[in-house]
Amino acid sequence: MTDLPHPLLRPHGKDRLAVLGETPLVAETPEDLLDDETTPAARFFIRNNGLLPQPAGDAESWTFVIDGEVEQALRLSVADLKNRFETKTFRMVLECGGNGRSFFAPQAEGNPWTNGGVGCAEWTGISLADVLTAAGLKASASHTAHYGADPDKHGDAGKPSISRGMPLAKALDEHTLLAFAMNGEALPFLHGGPLRLVVPGWPGSLSQKWLTRIWIRDREHDGPGMTGLSYRVPVQPVAPGEEVGDIPSQILESMPVRSIVSCPADGAVYSAGTRLLDLRGAAWAGDDGVSKVEVTVDGGATWIAATLTPPRNRYDWTRWRADLPLASDGFYEVHVRATDTRGRSQPFRAANWNPNGYGCNVMHRVAVRVG
């Protein structure tokens, strides 16, 4: 991988992300660039479903609408949000639903994410719950539907690039934000500025960028990204590569437990005589917490527990460190395994194959050489 940013990313101040698609623009972050407690915007992954919209001339006057099953439809600008509601800041993980897709065999449909479709930034904004309370939810309200300003991948502004939604229970979580700032600065255009949703713990496709409308519905939303196999997985296990046919599916909601080694980078070389590896990385678990992180250098025969740094708030990732003793010079493969608060751990090999490659959380592996 080159040390220079991809030409498409240079105008946006991005670091050396790996571009997975140009139209729409999609790029993932190498694991060794995810070594910060708070992911800088320059190192935050990019996922678009359509073309980029026209940038806002004035961020403060950008407006969006809340309508549908509410007592009073609201049209609010970014300035209105700041003036009328309590501003909150949380450090939270945002992750693509297809993160890890390339580890499925046979290959699944979609962008070939490895482990880099994730980042953990400080998001500042207004709890969506506060705005929904101001609008007044009717008894019939049950789900949201999200719309943004980005046209579809063919440039048709009349067709949404994606329009997903969630049950009200998730929308009313105080951590679900109408975000206008990222890491203490105005939300970058490439990450949905001036206004986006941030729906932590669930697939990033719910976190609508360039937000223009939230439609409150009396049923599950059926927009693009909600039907067929989009962000859905079979309700029962299927054989890898099997046609799912009429097997019922369910929407992917809370993301599975995952972890990465952010240092050392894969392929690192240490001087002869090195007998202790200083490892560090991150772990996260959708709606749940991380209970432990372990590392192995012998294929899982033995495990060493990592030291965990408590998350700052719910949906923050858990940073970890571990000292890994080595018996001699030579070649080593390090695997990291996280376990969530429900006792679910990452597998060595993906066991939940599905046609669109969602929710793959195999252990991250880095190879190092000593001497």
Q: Could you tell me the pTM of the whole model?
A: 0.96
Mean pLDDT for all residues in the chain: 96
**Half-sphere exposure (Cβ direction) of 293: Cα atoms closer than 13 Å:** 30
125, 127, 175, 304, 340 from 130: Cα distances, Å? 11, 5, 11, 44, 30
25, 30, 51, 109, 232 from 227: Cα distances, Å? 23, 31, 21, 16, 8
Evaluate whether 231 touches 123 at the Cβ level (below 8 Å). Answer: no
The CATH number of 258-370, from 3.50.50.60, 3.30.470.20, 3.40.1190.20, 2.60.40.650, is 2.60.40.650
Mean pLDDT, to the nearest integer, of 131-141? 98
User: Over the stretch 299-319, which tens digit does the pLDDT of each residue have?
Assistant: 999 999 999 999 999 999 999
Q: Above pLDDT 70, what percent of the chain?
A: 99
Q: Which of 235, 248, 258 is nearest to 335 (CA)?
A: 258
Mean pLDDT, to the nearest integer, of 72-83? 98
- According to the model, what pLDDT value does residue 158 have? 85
Q: How many CB atoms lie within 10 A of CB 51?
A: 17
The burial class, CB within 10 Å (0-12 / 13-18 / 19+), for 132 is buried
Paired tokens of 355:
């046609």
Question: Which segments of the chain belong to CATH 3.90.420.10?
Answer: 18-251
What is the homologous superfamily of the domain 18-251 according to CATH?
Oxidoreductase, molybdopterin-binding domain (3.90.420.10)
- According to the model, what pLDDT value does residue 1 have? 46
User: Over the stretch 251-307, which tens digit does the pLDDT of each residue have?
Assistant: 999 999 999 999 999 999 999 999 999 999 999 999 999 999 999 999 999 999 999
Q: How many CB atoms lie within 10 A of CB 248?
A: 9
Q: Which of 150, 147, 144, 149 is nearest to 176 (CA)?
A: 144
- According to the model, what pLDDT value does residue 351 have? 87
Mean pLDDT, to the nearest integer, of 141-163? 94
Question: Which segments of the chain belong to CATH 2.60.40.650?
Answer: 258-370
- According to the model, what pLDDT value does residue 2 have? 54
- According to the model, what pLDDT value does residue 6 have? 86
Rounded distance, CA 211 to CA 133, Å? 19
